[in-house]
Amino acid sequence: MTTIVPKVFVIESLPLPRHRIIYLAIERYTNFSNAMIECQPNVLSWNYTMQGDGIDAGLRFNWAGESGRFKLNGQLYTIKKSGFVTPTWELIKEDKVCAEASKISMLRRGFEIKLQSGAMELSAKSAFGRTMLLSGMGCQARIKPAHAFTRRVQISGSYPDPETIVFAFWLCALIWRRNANHAAACP
């Protein structure tokens, strides 16, 4: 029988605070390291390009409203918002609905994503940060900004298919865009 012994002695030799050492040790043995996708924002807009793990996508938001589209590996997907009080976002490919997302609650930053194969939840990791977690159907992915003062994002973890993770990231960018617009509107 083989046992896995974490190499904590290497981490302890670094000049890091104790809570950071524990976080690194926990992160090392979770399933957040299966894939890595880099998301780069376009200049002066909320549009993004995504690359990594077989994904080459360009995300676009409509100028007005909360709809948009993305092109994933050469295939065009459209996102349409319907409803006002209980809005839903539909992911459409060739006039066929692939997925549907709805807000979990008006007070929480998160969505329930319904796919043909099951349901997933996109929710904020904490009340104060921008990191989001996509979980469900045996998958868990983390959508995390590179640091506090940037819109660059890294996506790590496992996910069911490329269109789901791109749709989930589009919803994250929508939340961040809303927050930025509301913060800019408040004097």
Long-range contacts, stretch 91-96, CB < 8 angstroms, 24+ apart? 91/163, 91/167, 93/163
* Token representation of residue 141: 């992915």
pLDDT of residue 67: 95
Q: Determine whether 161 is exposed, middle or buried from the number of CB atoms within 10 Å of its CB (0-12, 13-18, 19+).
A: middle
- pLDDT mean across residues, the chain: 82
What is the DSSP secondary-structure string of 43-111? TTSS-EEEEETTEEEEEEE-SSSS-EEEEETTEEEEEEEE-SSS-EEEEEETTEEEEEEEES-SSSSEE
pLDDT 10s digits, 137-176 = 989 999 999 888 889 999 999 998 999 999 999 999 999 9
DSSP label at residue 129 = S
* pLDDT, position 105: 81
